Chain A
Amino acid sequence: MSNHSHDTLQEQDETYLYENNQEQLYIGHSHGTKEIWKIFWWLGAITVVDILFYFTFDENMFRNIVFIGLGIIKAYLIIGYFMHMKQERTDLIMSIILPIIFILWGVGAILKEGASHMM
């Protein structure tokens, strides 16, 4: 388990923090609840816009793009603020977001494939 048994006590403490008891890395600072409620109202408003668009526009590509666009905005708000992604290091953000961008490309590509051989 510990292969630093020959370290001095101080060095053992430091690397112990990073290898064995990594939860100490968590220094959660409370930022208050105002921002949380603000994001909640935004999410609610975007959902209402979603529903309004559904009833006022006919079924067409423009409407679908609006739905997907609003969904991406909601995802940005939830991931960024509720999951505190914005507070993480940039390279962690990229490690998670870049594969998601590839998924989104995949969604677009396969929807196009599906539409290309209509029944």
Chain B
Amino acid sequence: MSSHTTASSVPTEIWSGGRSPYNVSYGKLMMWVFLLSDAFTFSGLLIAYGSTRFSYGENITMPWPRPDMVFNHFPFFHHIHLPLFFVSLMTFILIFSSVTMVLAVEAGQRKSKADVSKYMLLTILGGLAFLSCQDWEWSQSIGDGARLDFNHFSLTKEGFEYANTLKLGHHYEWLDSYRMSGPPTFSALFFIVTGFHGFHVFSGVVINVITYINNKRGLYEKRGHYEMIEKVGLYWHFVDLVWVFVFTFFYLI
């Protein structure tokens, strides 16, 4: 409208073109839009989990497995009952890597190339640590017999009584009579949702490595601003946020 007549020619009409309506760059806005669409995708999976899980109610022929009886292992503590300890550790690792990521963004705002490198490296290490933990978790489940279409996690009546006797930190042993075939959707959803999320973590680590290398090469210093760190940070925080909800839905509810 007024873009050709005055000296300060940034159009004041917000949605009439010639300017960014939200005062953010195209890259950052599109990252937000992508994250919104990814949120819909993950929500679809979590809604499927919730709907299936809730439809089991008081079903006793094939009860829904109890997460604290399935995920009670911890590295180097063989057969010690530590329910949800390992997955809590994974949550803390990812939250901590989110903190180092936002510290990298803050370092970019100060235009400190060295600090950006330091915090990006810590974030990458945090992401790799999370992926290693997820790998260990998967191998434990697969070792327990879980597959995409089968698992042995439901508790029989005997198993239920045994589970009630288990105390935190004590040795446990699952006899054959304690467990029976569980709903196939339990393990299917476990692998698919944590796998899909793990794939996001992996691609996030790849993007972080590329950004780290670019920063070391001085690309952002030359460009004059570190907005790429912030855009990449948005993706990483989204990955962390999804994990918070996966943790809540799969392990707590």
Contact = CB atoms under 8 A, between A and B. Distances in A.
Interface residues of A, number: 60
B197 interface: no
A26 B30 CA distance: 15
A64 B53 CA distance: 13
Given A28-B225, A32-B106, A119 B22 contact: no
Interface of A: 7, 10-11, 14-15, 17-19, 22-26, 28-33, 36-37, 40, 43-44, 47, 50-51, 54, 64, 67-68, 70-71, 74-75, 78-79, 81-84, 88-89, 91-92, 95-96, 99-100, 103, 106-107, 110-111, 113-115, 117-119
A110 B45 CA distance: 12
A71 B105 CA distance: 24
B214 interface: no
B241 A11 contact: no
Interface of B: 3-4, 7-10, 18-29, 32, 35-36, 39-40, 43, 46-47, 50-59, 68, 84, 88, 91-92, 95-96, 98-99, 101-103, 105-106, 108-110, 223, 225-227, 230, 233-234, 237-238, 240-241, 244-245, 248, 252-253
B189 to A, nearest CB: 13
B233 A83 contact: yes
B241 A78 contact: yes
B96 A40 contact: yes
B72 to A, nearest CB: 12
Contact of A82 (B53, B98, B108): B98
A33 B103 contact: yes
Contact of A111 (B10, B32, B51, B110): B51
A14 to B, nearest CB: 5
B20 A22 contact: yes
B241 A89 contact: no
A53 to B, nearest CB: 8
B43 A43 contact: no
A23 B54 contact: no
A83 B101 CA distance: 10
Contact of A78 (B27, B28, B244, B252): B244
Given A10-B9, A43-B95, A64-B253, A117 B55 contact: yes
Given A79-B241, A111-B51, A118-B58, A71 B248 contact: yes
Nearest to B253: A64
B47 A78 contact: no
A3 to B, nearest CB: 11
Contact of B20 (A18, A37, A54): A18
A110 B25 contact: no
10 contacts: A23-B27, A30-B106, A31-B106, A67-B253, A71-B244, A79-B241, A89-B23, A103-B39, A110-B51, A118-B57
